[in-house]
Structure 1
Amino acid sequence: MSCFRLPDTFLRDIEGLMAYFFWNMVTNSKTHWLAREKLCLRKDEGGLGFRRLKENDVALLAKQSWRVAFQPNGILSKVLGQKYYPESNFFEAQLGSSPSYTWRSH
């Protein structure tokens, strides 16, 4: 999850399954006591504190990009560096003509 961006529709489906699981655990009556949006609010804002998966995915990508940029001896840094920016650095790298899904995600 942290090396490439997951499709938005997939993340929405997973959030829907999480909400469905939560609603069905309370009762089998299928009554939705909280809106889906409210499940992801912080607890001090009246929600249940579930994380939004899209925001979490973007945060994990940012963390991985930071590692690629500032830890050049890491295995992902070496692989991406040799393929996509052998003569420059991470911040000056271009997308290229046929980038992998991992590289397009960063």
Structure 2
Amino acid sequence: MPTYAMIIFLLPKDLYDEVEKLMNGFWWRGSKFDQKGLRWRKWEALCKPKDAGGLGFRRLREFNLAMLAKQGWRLINESGSLMSRVLHARYYPNSTFLQAKLGSNPSFIWRSIFETQEIIKNNTRKRVGNGIDVQV
């Protein structure tokens, strides 16, 4: 499944559900969608990593949020990039990505990346360096 759209867009929950339903159905029934197959294991078990006894299938929502969080992390660490400069100038000119607000009339890309702000906040910590500034 092509995942490049997941890098900048938060996909709708209904789409995740439908695609995972098709993946699940294909795994259990093969290409014969009119037959019922045997469910040897729960779908959640198949989504576990291989070293944890699963098959390593991706949960699409989690994967989508991870890709968007990567973009949010780039906004923090690569402030010179074109995307970072454009979003910074438009949505948080006087603050950082972690302090930014959604704002009025945001683009779909900004809303998608902004969705991961709390994930990044909750999974990062500040480290004091030379005492002049604080790095995330």
Settle same-fold status: TM greater than 0.5: yes
1:17-66 Cα shifts (integer Å, max 9, x gaps)? 11122223398663333322222122343322211111111111111100
Return the TM-score normalized by structure 1: 0.81
Higher relative contact order (CA 8 A, sep 6+): 1
Question: What is the alpha-carbon distance in structure 2 between the residues aligned to residue 36 and residue 26 of structure 1?
Answer: 18
Return the TM-score normalized by structure 2: 0.66
Q: Which structure 1 segments of 5+ residues have no match? A: none
Q: Which structure 2 segments of 5+ residues have no match? A: 1-5, 115-136
Q: How many residues align?
A: 106
Question: What is the alpha-carbon distance in structure 1 between the residues aligned to residue 82 and residue 110 of structure 2?
Answer: 14
Higher helix share: 1
Identity of aligned residues (%): 45
RMSD: 2.2
